[in-house]
Chain A
Amino acid sequence: MANVLIIGAGGVGHVVAHKCAQHRDLFHTICLASRTIEKCRAIAKGIGGPLQIEAVDADRSDAVSALIRRCDADVLINVATPYQNLAVMEACVQTGIHYVDTSLDDERDWVKYDYSDQWAFHPRFQKAGTTGVLSIGFDPGVVNVYCAWAQKHLFDQIDTIDMIDCNAGNTNRKFATNFDPETNLREILADVIAYEDGAFRTSPALETRRTFHFPGIGARETYLMTHEEVLTVARFIPGVRNVRFWMAFNDEYLRHLRVLRDIGLTSIEPVLHEGHPVVPIKFLKCLLPNPADLASESQGITCIGCLIEGRKDDRPRKVFVYNNCRHEDCFREVGSQAISYTTGAPAVLAARLVLSGAWSEPGVYNPEQLDPDPFMEEIGNMGLPWKVNEL
């Protein structure tokens, strides 16, 4: 029995809190904290059984440390915004508890796209005898584990990995983002970094297209995009030559996105308005629907997976390892849409594996560095069953 502290009360925090509450055999006490305690209270209302709620400024590691001590946490699941990862990791290492997050840390005023600062915690976690699992949502996260599992069981040598992501769901809105608009628009519009022919290459956003067939959905046009798992999978899957991330966008979404970008509304540089600085992308966020509010009206399915090519027993092999998730099912189970669900559920499993000893090596790790088997055995029970198609 252990105590868990969840930081972040957005859509993913909602799922993580629900999933932890479904596993009270392992999580003795659950504490949910956020900058805005009302958001925690709203989530707590929908959960059966006790849930402690707290207000915390996660940019301050001393405040997080104090909170960790107050709720006597053994593991912290960080699903707030990615700007706070380093402060939260610092608090975990100082208090000697395990750490789990779902996305690469970032800076508010520039795009970082580099794990160095989080990896730098490795020796300190080793010394503390605790484990940090980085970026264990769905993508990054589950897809990294898919790669490690394929490497272990399906291939002698992997050459190419195309991670593909399609949300074929609909809402009633003309334009809405799948998750936090600021984070989402920043990553979509960032210069693309892909690993090709054994080297990282940069290209402009939203220019390289490819059509993929998504099981359960059909053929969809996708765009090469920057995503953090490309950085780590290229590094940790031995001998891989190509690692790319592709996301499907429909034409309407892109039409809106391009206009907003061209006009400057996705900029993170403040603009002076009536004597006060206003950051365009933050202002845009005020206007766009809160993704959590779209949960009840989201319909349809998502498909995220890894298309992996390589050799096995001296013969070429190509497989697609993937998950389908239906928005309506997620809403029935935990009151969320599939994007939040597929991100939150893996983080809870990671916390469980860390606590149970399956992923207990001290240090800081990306998911593909850890043994994929216990994760692949359990992730179906956590709500995200997987399939392998031999191609």
Chain B
Amino acid sequence: MSNRVLIIGAGGVGRVVTHKCTQAPGTFGAVCLASRSREKCETIAQSLNVPIRTAQVNAESAPEVVRLIRDFEPVLVVHVALPYQNLAIMEACLETGVHYLDTANYESRELAHFEYRQQWDYHERYRRRGITALLGSGFDPGVTNVFCAWARKELFDRIDQIDILDCNDGDHGLPFATNFNVEINLREITAPGRWWEQGQWHTCDPLSRELTFEFPGIGPRKAYLTYHEELESLSRHFPEVQRLRFWMTFSDSYRNALDVLQNVGLTRIDPVDYEGRPVVPVQFLKSLLPDPVAVSERYQGKTSIGCLIAGEAKGRQKRVFIHAPCDHQASFREVGMNAVAYTAGVPAATGAKMILDGKWSSPGVFNLEELDPEPFLAALPEFGLPWKVQETVSDASAERTSQPAAGKE
């Protein structure tokens, strides 16, 4: 039986995954790309060197996904559409006995909140069905989780602190644009900051804590404490770690624009009446802003995402930054998308390879740090993301708090 793969989602990440899967015919069999808009699938199909199937599907409907799976008969579904659809697709995979992979945590449309509980709840059923679900196999979450697992296995006797640092130093020359789906992006960064320390969750006002970090190949950049979904799974799977945080860089002009949009209510997710019809402000903003795919071509510069890990090795304090740099223009030349989509799509293809090659074959629902990091990190550069370990880096604890609003949850 050939390793057929069904990819759901034809945005920027879907484009990268489809390119990467079709670049590795030894691992991947026939590919079907499905999305709400078949036209978007066709556009991607035309950019490939090999033929693929395309299909139209409403991924929020499990029965529709089941029908598509029965028709195409894949061994794995790679879900890179919206996080609102995770549960419906997981349900369809369970029913049909097909492996599942996604890149972002489930979220409901109505509530800007994400947690793994509903997806973790599938573990026993997946285990009994003999299939594997990989949750969060993008870059962050995804590669960052694998970096942590690898550091624990290979570099440290004890890990004390993990700071995940995400820098997009690209410039698109536009007044304001988001790196991926506008709505998801804004939901993420307008939420309160949240981190794990001494066995408890702590919160602070959105973007109220910042630090400056010297990103290799980029330089010093200001990053803000943000809640990101891998903190939840890492806090569960690294109970020994004292402090876990996530930081993301935003330029001053991005922050300024975001602040204004919030002040006037454009990031609201509840509908307002516009000439007798309900319009959700953040969705209208999405219609107004440049499409992330269109922004892609204009992007210059690099991204750098990695884990700053501190702890003890052989009786000595140790601090490393494990990271993978990526260049926007190089990514665009290769697959027609910028580094933000590239860094999310390449690990999805790498995770898919782990399942198809049988390297990660335990049945059940897993976050990436629970699995053997070696084969994944060996395959990642082959798929286009070489990674590096930088020893003795500067301390990330020199952060500033712009508002003394931090508190325990």
A263 & B175 in contact (Cβ 8 Å cutoff): yes
Determine whether the beta carbon of B284 is less than 8 Å from that of A256: no
Are A273 and B287 in contact, with the CB atoms below 8 A?
yes
Contact indicator B260/A260 (Cβ below 8 Å): yes
B36 CB, nearest partner CB in chain A, Å: 13
Set of chain A residues within 8 Å of B283, measured between Cβ atoms: 273-274
Are A272 and B287 within 8 A (Cβ)? yes
Which chain A residue has the least Cβ–Cβ distance from B268?
A: A287
Q: Are A263 and B288 in contact (CB under 8 A)?
A: yes
Query: Which of B57-65, B197-205, B269-277 lines the interface with chain A?
Result: B269-277
Is A287 in contact with B264, judged by CB distance below 8 angstroms?
A: yes
The reply to whether A288 and B264 contact each other, CB–CB distance below 8 Å, is yes
Bound Cα distance from A244 to B263, whole angstroms: 32
B287 touching A278 by the CB < 8 A rule?
yes
Chain A residue nearest in CB terms to B289: A263
Q: Quick check: is B405 within 8 A (CB to CB) of the other chain?
A: no
Cross-interface CB contact of B277 among A175, A276, A284, cutoff 8 Å? A276
Smallest CB–CB gap between A265 and chain B, Å? 7
Is there contact, CB below 8 Å, between B279 and A273?
A: yes
Given contacts A255-B260, A283-B279, A286-B274, contact A262 B266 (CB under 8 A): no
- Residues B256 and A259 in contact, CB atoms below 8 Å apart: yes
Is A213 on the interface with B (CB-CB < 8 A)? no
Q: Which of A30-73 contact B (CB under 8 A)?
A: none
Give CA–CA (A284, B272) in the complex, Å: 11
Is A271 part of the binding interface, using a Cβ–Cβ cutoff of 8 Å?
yes
Whether B274 lies near A256 (C-beta < 8 A) is no
Check A263–B176 contact: CB distance below 8 A. yes
CB–CB A284/B289 < 8 A: no
- CB contacts under 8 Å to A, within B175-231, are 175-176
Q: Does B265 contact A (CB under 8 A)?
A: yes
Q: Contact flags (1/0) for B252-267 with A, using CB distance below 8 Å?
A: 0000110011011110
Contact A286 B287 (CB under 8 A): no
Number of A residues whose C-beta is below 8 Å from B? 23
Q: Which residue of B256, B263, B266 contacts A265 across the interface (Cβ within 8 Å)?
A: B266
Is B29 close to A, CB under 8 A?
Answer: no
B261 touches A259 (CB 8 A): yes
Q: Name the interface residues of B221-257: CB closer than 8 Å to any CB of A.
A: 256-257
Across the interface, which residues of A come within 8 angstroms of B384, CB to CB? none
Complex Cα distance A274/B175, Å? 24
* Complex interface: chain A residues within 8 A of B287 (CB): 271-274, 278
Is B281's beta carbon under 8 Å from chain A? yes
A114 vs B238: C-alpha distance when bound (angstroms): 70
Greatest chain B CB density within 10 A among A256, A260, A263 is at: A263
Report the minimum CB–CB distance from A6 to chain B (whole Å).
25
Q: Does A112 contact B (CB under 8 A)?
A: no
Q: Tell me, rounded to whole Å, the shortest Cβ–Cβ distance linking A25 to chain B.
A: 42
Contacting residues of chain A (255-283) with chain B, CB-CB under 8 angstroms: 255-256, 259-260, 262-265, 271-274, 276, 278, 280, 282-283
Tell whether A280 pairs with B288 under 8 Å between CB atoms, given A262-B175, A287-B266: yes
10 contacts between A and B (CB under 8 A): A174-B263, A256-B263, A259-B176, A263-B257, A271-B284, A273-B279, A273-B284, A278-B284, A283-B274, A286-B274
Tell me the B residues contacting A by CB distance below 8 Å: 175-176, 256-257, 260-261, 263-266, 268, 272-275, 277, 279, 281, 283-285, 287-289
Residues on A facing B (Cβ under 8 Å): 174-175, 255-256, 259-260, 262-265, 271-274, 276, 278, 280, 282-284, 286-288
Q: A256-B263, A273-B283, A283-B281 are in contact. List 17 more A-B contacts (CB 8 A).
A: A174-B263, A174-B264, A255-B256, A255-B260, A259-B257, A259-B260, A260-B260, A263-B288, A265-B266, A271-B287, A274-B287, A276-B277, A278-B274, A280-B288, A282-B274, A286-B272, A288-B265
